[in-house]
Amino acid sequence: MSSRTAGACSEAPSRVSQTRQPLLVLLIRLHLYVGLLVGPFIFIAALSGLIYALTPQLEDRLYAEQLYTDSTGASLPLARQIEIAQGYVGEAAMLSAVRPAPQPGTTTRVMFKAPTPGASESRAVFIDPVTAEVRGDLLVYGTSGVLPLRTWLDQFHRSLLLGEPGRLYSELAASWLWVAALGGLALWLVRRRRQGTAVPVRSSRLRRWHATLGLWLLVGLLFFSATGLTWSRWAGDNIGAARAALGMSTPSVSTALDGAAVMHAGEHAHHAGMAVATGQSGNPVLSNRELFDAVLVAARNAGIDAGKIEIVPAARQDRAWTVTEIDRSWPTQVDAVAVDPRTMSITDRTDFATFPIAAKLTRWGIDAHMGSLFGLANQLLLAVTALGLATLVAFGYVMGLRRTTARRVGLVQALAALSPSARLVTLALAVLFGVCLPVLGVSLLLFLIGEAVFDGLARSRRLRVGQSG
């Protein structure tokens, strides 16, 4: 081998090493920043999620009087149950939906718009379907219809009870969780590779525990991050827009009719008991309350067979009613139909079996994140993963605070030390993820600004010390 060839061979590993070392430093510094600055938010999200996952059984016991009944026998028509509920809350209350008792021994939910409307909140009157007794009156939240205890936990987990501004915290946690998880994996792989070389690797027991736990939890952490981002404010909007552009949005039924009059009861036609449907030839004229029974029969005949369903009356005269399956356990039942209240014909439908794969994965991901897809097994897996995540953050935080060596290289310095091509790729990825995940992008910019300020203050302090000396 010529000396020139030997020199080229010796220079190649050197160039690779020169590129890899700044990348490693950049990764370590970023991992440290995420742990110290974002870690507390991830910790809060993990603990609140842990409590949320373990509360369904507690909620069943706490609200047993509202949810269950000992009455046996045939169920009364929905019209009668709605009449009792409307009388209980007053005729001025606006009926928004009805959820018939899903099985014997459970109650019907007659739902009204909340008196002080919150996001996705409804006032639910629980009716014994056999005796029409009012069993309770509670605020419920979302499509899942969670009761006050879990609503409070859900809002804390999502926004720290701060409303829309508070959602920044959960989006920040979800935006960086996958970065921390994959960054930790990369650091572990680097250390494993070094163990096969002559390079000595010192590792504390806490670091080994941190790395091992992170590996065991990796899939769960990526799952939490992905599903959390789907729900988030800014990243979630971008994900929805991308799915829509690719034709992968979750289908929904159209409630549009042909424009002919459906109800004739003045401005309050959407209030229960105050509207009358115009019948077609040969069809009886039904009151709005009676329509619930007729629409339910039409939906059942059309294949809506889940026990848990929701009937939503038309909000306008030119719209159809909808009947939607809301069973989030496996197998998923979320089919829906639109029913013309004049003819009881099905005007549109969606079937989960025909959903795009992205829509199915989103549905399953959200339900698994909430612990409802596989029941108790799902809850326990979520609880173990959330507890492990909280422990992982605590380990990382202790390790970060224990660092006594001076900070040698920051993000900017490590980036500047990269080769031009590696620097370009790194910056392009940072911009791409910053645009797609705006909270991640803004927080990364704040990391860099904070680092620059810290460096400036440190230089000023050193200058003052030097001058005084």
Whether residue 368 lies inside any domain: the answer is no
Q: pLDDT tens-digit profile of 147-202? A: 999 999 999 999 999 988 999 999 999 999 999 999 999 999 988 887 765 555 55
Are residues 167 and 46 located together in one domain of the fold?
Answer: yes
Domain end residue (candidates: 86, 114, 146): 146
Please give the full DSSP string across 4-22, using - where no structure is assigned: HHHHHHHHHHHHHHHHHHH
Q: What pLDDT score does 469 carry?
A: 59
167 with 241, same domain: the answer is yes
Question: Can you give the pLDDT at residue 281?
Answer: 36
Q: At how many degrees (to 10) do helices 205-231 and 234-245 cross?
A: 60
- The answer to whether residues 308 and 327 touch, using CB atoms and an 8 Å cutoff, is yes
Does residue 385 sit in the same domain as residue 430? yes
Residues 203 and 243 in one domain: yes
Residues 263, 275: contact at Cβ < 8 Å? yes
Q: Which two tokens mark 433? A: 């993820």
Q: Helices 167-195 and 3-33 meet at what angle, rounded to 10?
A: 150
How many C-beta atoms surround the C-beta of residue 454 within 10 A?
A: 12
Q: Residue 137's closest CA among 200, 86, 66?
A: 66
Residue (of 210, 215, 232) closest to 390 by Cα position: 210
Residues 76, 43, single domain; the answer is: no
Before 331, cis peptide (omega within 30)?
yes
Nearest Cα to Cα of residue 43 among 150, 148, 164, 176: 176
Angle between helix axes 205-231 and 357-370 (nearest 10 degrees) is: 120
Residues 180 and 311 in one domain: no
Pair of tokens at residue 188:
């572990």
Nearest partner of 432 among 419, 441, 442, 423, judged by Cα: 441
98 φ, ψ to 5°?
Answer: -135, 135
- Do the domain assignments include residue 430? yes
pLDDT for the residue 406: 41
CATH number at residue 274: 3.10.450
What is the DSSP pairing of strand 321-325 with strand 95-99? unpaired
Element holding 122 (H helix, E strand): strand 121-127
8 Å CB contact between 253 and 335: no
| 47 and 68 share one domain | no
Which three-class secondary structure state does DSSP give residue 361?
helix
From 354, 384, 403, the end of a domain falls on 354
In a domain, 40, yes or no: yes
The position carrying tokens 């003052």 is 464
In angstroms, the Cα distances linking 74 to 107, 131, 304 are 13, 9, 21
Residue 392 placed within a domain: yes
CA-closest candidate to residue 132, choices 163, 101, 111: 101
Residue ranges making up the domain that contains 75:
64-146
| Tokens at 101, concatenated | 């008792």
Give the per-residue pLDDT at 79. 97
Q: Max CA-CA distance within the chain?
A: 103
Helices (H), 139-204: 148-159, 167-195
| pTM for this prediction | 0.85
The SS3 assignment for 417 reads helix
In a domain, 155, yes or no: no
Domain assignment present for 288: yes
Flag whether 253 is in a domain: no
Q: How many residues does the chain have?
A: 469
Secondary structure class of 328 (helix, strand, coil) = coil
What pLDDT is stored for residue 336 in this prediction? 98
DSSP E strand stretches across 76-120: 95-99, 108-113
- Whether 445 and 384 map to the same domain: the answer is yes
Q: What letter represents residue 102's amino acid?
A: P
Give a yes or no: residue 80 inside a domain.
Answer: yes
The model's pLDDT over 332-378, given as tens digits with 9 standing for 90+, comes to: 999 999 999 999 999 999 999 999 999 999 999 999 999 999 999 99
Q: Checking DSSP bridges between strand 336-339 and strand 321-325, what pairing results, if any?
A: antiparallel
Asked if 307 and 120 count as a contact pair (C-beta separation under 8 A), the reply is no
Strands 121-127 and 134-141: antiparallel
Say if residue 317 is in the same domain as residue 394: no
Residues of the chain where predicted confidence (pLDDT) is lower than 50: 1-19, 260-284, 404-406
Rounded to an integer, what distance in angstroms lies between the CA atom of residue 52 and that of residue 79?
35
207 and 341 together in one domain: no
Backbone angles phi, psi at 349, to 5 degrees: -155, 155
CB 81 within 8 A of CB 108: yes
Rounded to whole angstroms, how far apart are CA atoms 53 and 60?
A: 13
Q: Are residues 390 and 449 in the same domain?
A: yes
Q: How far apart are CA 167 and CA 153, in angstroms?
A: 14
- Local structure of residue 446 (DSSP, 8 states): H
- The letter for the amino acid at 322 is T
Same-domain status, 54 and 176: yes
Among 354, 389, 404, give the residue marking a domain's end: 354
Whether the CB-CB separation of 123 and 93 falls below 8 Å is answered with: yes
Indicate the number of domains in the chain: 3
